[in-house]
Amino acid sequence: MDPYTETGSVNLDSSLWPHASKSLPELLTEICQKAQKMLKLIKDGQPESTDIFLTFYQSLGESYNHLNQELLNGFLNFDIKPSSSDKNSVSFRSDSSPSLEFDLVSGVSYSSLKLNDEAEKKDQSAYMLADFFSDELRTALRDLEERNTLVGELESKLSDSNDKIKTLERELDECHELLEVSEVEVSKLNEMLTEKADNGADLLLNTLRAELRSRDVQIEQMEEYLNQVCVKDTELLSDDESGTNKSVVEELKSRVEELENQVEKQSDVISEREEEKREAIRELCFSLDHYKSRYTELVISLSGNN
């Protein structure tokens, strides 16, 4: 029967401790059983078995001491004199013959020597068994110390691993928070860029349309003026006698050339404004693509950390 209950608590039953009433074979059997139970506790490797093992170890030490005392007492109390039963069996009257008395004494001596030899053999066997269990116990203690050392190292490594896991979990939470903040900021930037792009493009288009309308009005006015000048020029050319008319015609021609130059300049300005509009639209599109690319890279980077 095991000296501990199912809950693992030590059962301090009196059966763990040696009694003076036990014989030598009973003591040896008890020592063997305790050593086997101690080896079983070491093989189980349960932390709560340490107290039970120490209790067994203390009890085993008491059993060894009692065994040694029994062996010593048996050796000291051993008497070669015949026992009372031998005395009764070999009792003789005073008138017995000397030869019979010698035979009886010789038989008792032989029996005593035989018992002494058997006792010595038992003592030697007991000492050998005690030495064997002592070696087994020392081996078991070394195994227990090694297991305790290994358990300590594993507990230390487990503690370090738990600390690293907690650190990584904190970093992961921080990354999630940064990702949420970045998503909000990117969303705001996209809204701002879209709004600015729409407002800027609309404003630029409205300005260009107004300028184009103004240029169209000016061109129409210049064309009307040119038509009037051409009519006057035709009228003046019909009159070759007037020198003043020639000077007026020359003046009108120079004026027409000047107006044509102005029309060309206005056309160039309109073309430049249209190119500026297209360039502004390209820059806005490039800015939107850049911010979208940065947002995508940030999302991929944070997802990789997860």
- 165 & 192 share domain: no
User: For residue 282, what are the domain limits?
Assistant: 170-305
Q: How many domains in the chain?
A: 2
- 158 & 279 share domain: no
pLDDT bucket at 110, cuts 50 / 70 / 90: very low
pLDDT of residue 84: 43
Q: Indicate whether 65 belongs to any domain.
A: yes
More confident site: 276 or 146:
146
Q: Of 197, 190, 154, whose CA–CA distance to 292 is shortest? A: 190
Q: How far is CA 252 from CA 63, 85, 131, 163, 235, in A?
A: 143, 175, 142, 96, 13
- 75 & 163 share domain: yes
Q: What is the DSSP string of 215-253?
A: HHHHHHHHHHHHHHHHHHHHHHHT--S-HHHHHHHHHHH
More confident site: 179 or 63:
179
Interval 232-267: pLDDT, tens: 666 666 655 455 556 766 777 777 777 777 777 777
Query: What would the two tokens of residue 270 be?
Result: 């309109």
pLDDT of residue 138: 80
pLDDT of residue 95: 43
- 3 state SS of 4: strand
- CATH number of 257's domain: 1.10.287.2610
Among candidate residues 124, 146, 169, the one where a domain is terminated = 169
- 190 & 50 share domain: no
pLDDT above 80: residue 116: no
- 146 & 23 share domain: yes
pLDDT above 60: residue 76: no
Q: Indicate whether 231 belongs to any domain.
A: yes
Q: Indicate whether 140 belongs to any domain.
A: yes
C-alpha to C-alpha distance for 34 and 37, rounded to whole angstroms: 5
Question: Which of 36-45, 98-107, 179-188, 236-245 is modeled with the greatest confidence?
Answer: 179-188
C-alpha to C-alpha distance for 256 and 250, rounded to whole angstroms: 10
pLDDT of residue 178: 82
82 Cβ neighbours under 8 A, 6+ residues apart: 90, 108, 111, 112
Q: Indicate whether 142 belongs to any domain.
A: yes
Q: Indicate whether 203 belongs to any domain.
A: yes
pLDDT of residue 16: 41
- 3 state SS of 298: helix
- 140 & 253 share domain: no
Q: What percent of the chain has pLDDT over 90?
A: 0
- 225 & 153 share domain: no
Mean pLDDT of the chain: 67
- 38 & 148 share domain: yes
Assess contact for 37 and 29: CB atoms under 8 A.
no
Among candidate residues 169, 186, 218, the one where a domain is terminated = 169
pLDDT of residue 257: 79
- 126 & 250 share domain: no
- 199 & 156 share domain: no
State the distance between the two ends of the chain, measured CA to CA, in whole angstroms: 56
